[in-house]
Amino acid sequence: MTSSETQIFKTTTWSPGPGCHGGCGVLAHVKNGKLVKIEGDPDHPMNQGRLCARALAMTQYIDHPDRLRSPMRRTGNRGEGKWEPITWDAAFDLIEEKMNKIREEYGPESMVFNVGTGRDIYAWICMLAYAYGSPNVMFGLTGQACYGPRLAAAITVQGDFAVFDAAQWFEDRYDHPGYKVPETMIIWGYNIHATCPDNLFGHWIIDLMKKGTKIICIDPRLSWFGSRSKYHLRLRPGTDSALVMGFLHVVINQGLYDEAFVKKWSNAVHLIRKDTGKLVRESDLFSGGSEKNFAVWDTKDNKPVIWDTTLVGFKDTPDADPAVSGEWEIKTADGGIVACHTVWDAFCARANEYPLDKVENITGVPAKDIHDAAVLYAKSKPGAIHWGVAVDMTPALTPLVTGISALWAITGNLDVPGGNVFARFAFDVVPYALPGTKGAIRLKTEEQDKPRIGANRYMPLNKFYWRCQTDMTLDQIFTEDPYPIKGMWIQTAGIMQGLGMDPKKWRAALEKLDFIVAVDLFHTPTTQYADVVLPAGSFLEKDSFRSWWVPLQTINKVVEVEGCRPDVAINFELARRFDPEFKFDTIHELYDDILKPAGMTFKELQAKGWAYPPEGSASCPYLRHEKGLLRQDGRPGFRTQTGLFELYATLREEWDLEPMPHHEEPPFTPVSRPDLAKEYPLILSTGRRSPAFFHTEHRQIPWLREIDPDPVVEIHPTTAAKNNISHGEWMWIENWMGRARYKAKVTPVVPEWMIMAPHGWWFPEKKAAEPDLYGMWDANINQLIPMGHQGKDGQGAPIKHSMCRIYKCEGGRS
């Protein structure tokens, strides 16, 4: 690696450095062991040479003087900013001793493993937690309100997650035979040109637009794509679920749905009892069996019908092809006769609760625009939808996600070219600990999972999201009920400066703990609360791989930064210390084990660079539900308990949660809290990402900070004038919880009734010690957002719609 000639290495970005969800291919130019230049790999099928500013600035990141280069031990009080360097051995010994003590005295569950957006480190955090014996891996965001909830909700009704199709499954991309360009694409609460999240890229949508795709943008703010859209539906934040009900209303009432799909592949023809409002199940039915002792009677045609009694629906037989609508009677086990209707009728009745004038009233979007946009999408064959994190950042996210999923399903856009396509891990290589994971990283026994916080209270969390519930965990640190929490492992998580809402509460929680380890590349406001801080390496300093979703590709070590270690090496060393039965001796052995389903070793994959799953495999589209590629039993259908796309979510009924989509007003809006609106008249939206930063990162990288030097809040010209605030002036944003200081950017991209404040601000150039804490208390917008408002299924939270007032900061910012 150390050559005086410039050598060019191919690798994949993921995590530390750019921030990365995406996995762009890059060419790293290295001379004398140092990174001298980085550029996009033109041969890489995902980014085709394109790269974000953060990756391009890696030359300023990798040897940055602020990078931690040795483990540090705190010598003063928490938050006092006093540290001494210690050796890696001393750090590991200290961590082992302290964490063993917690495990012996209080049990392994008393240690919480806190992760942020996680990236490739997520798997290794689970590995460490599970080797230690704790089920409490926590994504430290209130209501875990990013991505996971969307996945859980979509999987509940369709068995898999689905994403928009930009031919990313194929190495030849758009040239692939059988691929179709979507005629229309809905960009729903998504700032994707700047964020490229979740392994999807804004430039893909630009590619599609060049090929003719029309855009519908659903966003209160005029985003880059919004300004280039056919319809920009500027809704009031938090009312997306009403809007999707309006879309469904149009699609159903204008007959724009795909009847064949609805009949054959959804649970539309299952029955719902009118007396209880619940699904008819086999146990409800009279079991006499003869025609006279009918189980189900078609009241329209006056004859008995044959039913599949699994979760009562029509048998897939040639003579059983009823209409999706109808009135029926069942003879119940106790001999009574009960009237029923179909799931489809119940679903249509639900949509009919949302006529467009009502939806206009709730959302603020003109009824005509809703109508026209819905018709455009429904008539597009194919049409695609993709959603961003705004969808998770509301407490009633499941009724919203299931509504959007129903929209793409009933319009015939699911699992088809150019529509919404199931995303599966390439070759079924699953590094994460997920439900059903068979790989190396999982809890050893079910018993170990029992104390997982929130898993008994929230079934969606229990079944689909193997983490503890964040808001409950924070509370439990204070209450110690039902057991005390004594330690926290923090890795890839900026709890104080961006990940945690109500950071004062988090600070009090951290102060209460006996032992905290933080693993990061830099000191941050969060690390100031740790006992030990370990210096991690960037993506250029490690061997790793990624399978989220396709292709399967390696990350290749190209440089070394003295004193730092890759996260995986840190966690591997400690996992071996905590678990005498830990079964791997080297990290490459661990990788080989996880990569087994691909039939390749790590070295073999590394030699290829990347690999695409072959057609006909479960991780390659299309129409996998017809081909029997989705279900474990190999039968056609979806991976749900009915094998069908569930317009009525059977699991949610079992969990006493609302099984069909609907609108719920979030907790802090002018509609739900008119009392607060008198004092806090503006809607506070947060978190619109800057292309220069990844959340709380990069404020110390000169090129990036130059792009975006200050915390800037977007405010409409009329609102600014009303409050006597001019462009470029400092202003306070305030509500009942606290305040934060931002610079005004006066712009019509936001509506008059809303301001938009990005999150994650701190100032690495300021003092570390409290009360400064790198200036974080001045500009942290999360001080205005509460914890503890997760949705009914333990997920989602009101992050993108709070309330505030504003006023000029008379002294500017000293």
Residues contributing to the site for ligand SF4 (CB under 6 A)? 13, 18-20, 22-24, 51-52, 54-55, 196
336 burial level (CB within 10 Å; 0-12, 13-18, 19+): exposed
Name which of 43 and 626 has its Cβ closer to ligand SF4. 43
| Contact of residue 493 among ligand SF4, ligand MGD, Mo ion, none (CB under 5-8 Å per partner type) | ligand MGD
d(CA 419, CA 454): 35
Piece of the chain touching ligand MGD by CB under 6 A; list 82-90, 415-423, 460-468, 688-696: 688-696
119 binding partner (options ligand MGD, Mo ion, ligand SF4, none; Cβ < 5 to 8 Å by kind): ligand MGD
Applying CB under 6 A, among 499, 558, 683, 731 the residue interacting with ligand MGD is 499
Binding site for Mo ion (CB under 5 A): 117, 146
Give whichever of 149 and 383 is closer to Mo ion, judged by the CB atom: 149
Candidate segments 126-134, 159-167, 475-483, 692-700, binder of ligand MGD by CB under 6 A: 692-700
Residue placing its CB nearer to ligand MGD in the complex, 415 or 543: 543
Closest contact distance (angstroms) between CB of 790 and Mo ion is 16
Beta partners for 383?
184
**Of 191 and 462, CB closest to ligand MGD:** 191
Backbone angles phi, psi at 434, to 5 degrees: -125, 160
Contact between 119 and ligand MGD by CB under 6 A: the answer reads yes
Q: Which of 390, 443, 532, 561 binds ligand MGD (CB under 6 A)?
A: 390
Residue 410, amino acid: I
* Contact window for ligand MGD (CB under 6 A) among 103-111, 193-201, 340-348, 573-581: 193-201
Going across the sheet that includes 231-233, the strands are 231-233, 214-218, 184-188, 383-387
- The token duo for 154 is 């979509």
- Residue from 258, 567, 734, 778 that binds ligand MGD (CB under 6 A)? 567
Binds 51, which of Mo ion, ligand MGD, ligand SF4, none (CB < 5 to 8 A, cut-off by type)? Answer: ligand SF4
468 binds ligand MGD (CB under 6 A): no
- Name which of ligand MGD, Mo ion, ligand SF4, none residue 13 binds, using a CB cut-off of 5 to 8 Å depending on partner kind: ligand SF4
Q: Cα–Cα distances in Å, from 89 out to 67, 92, 518?
A: 20, 5, 16
The pairing of strands 802-808 and 682-686 is antiparallel
Angle between helices 356-363 and 240-253 (to 10 degrees): 160
- Write down the least CB distance from residue 549 to Mo ion, Å: 17
Amino acid at 737: M
Q: Which whole-number Å values give the CA distances from 645 to 261, 379, 409, 650, 727, in the listed order?
A: 9, 21, 8, 10, 50
- Identify which range of 154-162, 189-197, 334-342, 627-635 contacts ligand MGD by CB under 6 A: 189-197
Return the one option of ligand MGD, ligand SF4, Mo ion, none that residue 141 interacts with (CB less than 5 to 8 A, by type).
ligand MGD
494 binds, among ligand SF4, Mo ion, ligand MGD, none (CB under 5 to 8 A by kind): ligand MGD
Kindly give the interhelix angle for 397-410 and 148-158, rounded to the nearest 10 degrees: 50
591 binds ligand MGD (CB under 6 A): no
Q: CA 93 → CA 88, 90, 441, 575, 578, distances in Å?
A: 9, 5, 24, 13, 11
* Residue 689: partners with Cβ closer than 8 Å, 6 or more residues away: 191, 194, 195, 695, 758
d(CA 801, CA 297): 49
- State the DSSP H helix or E strand holding residue 746, giving kind and residue range, or none if neither: strand 738-746
Cα 517 from Cα 129, distance rounded (Å): 13
CA 759: distance to chain centroid? Answer: 17
Strands 738-746 and 610-611, sheet pairing:
unpaired
Of 263-271, 281-289, 384-392, 623-631: span binding ligand MGD (CB under 6 A): 384-392
537 binds, among Mo ion, ligand MGD, ligand SF4, none (CB under 5 to 8 A by kind): none
Question: Where along the sequence are the contacts to ligand MGD (CB under 6 A)?
Answer: 15-16, 19, 21, 116-117, 119, 121, 141, 146, 188-192, 194-195, 197, 218-221, 223, 235, 237-238, 240, 388-390, 491-494, 498-499, 519-522, 524, 536, 567, 685-689, 691, 693-697, 759-760, 781-782, 785, 799-801
